[in-house]
Amino acid sequence: MNTPTKVILVDDHAVVRAGFRLLLSTCEKIEVIAEAERGEQACQLYLEKQPDVMVLDLSMPGIGGLEAIRRICSRNANAKILVFSVHDEMVYVDRATNAGAKGFITKNSAPAILVEAIQKIAAGEMYIEQGLTKNHPNHSPEVDYQAVISSFSSREFDVFLLLAKGFTAHKIADELCLGYKTVANYGTQIKNKLNVASVAELTRIALVLRLLQS
């Protein structure tokens, strides 16, 4: 009998992890061996448990999903990480795969897609959900914004999104476990790079690039 694929689930919502676990329990070829709710925990658990595949969300407190992917892959270039996110825009797919993820699917996908993606990645393949590559913005006025945002560090990207959502610097500091002055400096850098002066302009850019729901 073949050994089941060992999986670690990483999501900051316990109910979501419970749903994942229930779904995967219907597949005899997959075994959930651990769970984490933060990127830091994901890094530690990966080292301790050495899963075949880690299923990981991007939006989490602390270091976040993208930084967790980078740290894990910097220690193990063969790490197999599947991103399972609410986001369906190519900028997220690009950032995740550039960080080292081997797959990307959305939480709106059919349940069978999660199982298929895990099995494909465990077998050494890449897996990007069909249809995601069609969501890339094609309007030329936004290409420069896209390029700038794609060059952001993982922390800059996190701060950019929270600013665009209307979070204050103090709230972002609490959310990301950073100092207020650090967040303020990131905000200034982000505005300078995008050549804008206000948070409202950041929100507009995020909406145009479909990084936020209008």
Alpha-carbon distance 71 to 15, whole Å?
26
Domain annotation for the chain: domains and CATH numbers: 5-134 (3.40.50.2300), 140-208 (1.10.10.10)
Give whole-number Cα distances, 36 to 54, 88, 108, 134, in Å: 10, 23, 21, 31
pLDDT for 49: 93
State the pTM of this model. 0.66
pLDDT for 213: 58
User: Cβ–Cβ contacts within 10 Å for residue 175, how many?
Assistant: 17
Alpha-carbon distance 78 to 120, whole Å?
14
Alpha-carbon distance 127 to 114, whole Å?
10
Q: Percent of the chain at pLDDT above 90?
A: 44
Of 136-140, 142-146, 147-151, the range with the lowest mean pLDDT is 136-140
The predicted-structure confidence for 28-81, as pLDDT tens digits, reads as follows 899 999 999 999 999 999 999 999 999 999 988 888 899 999 999 999 988 999
**Chain Cα centroid distance, residue 71:** 13
Alpha-carbon distance 208 to 38, whole Å?
29
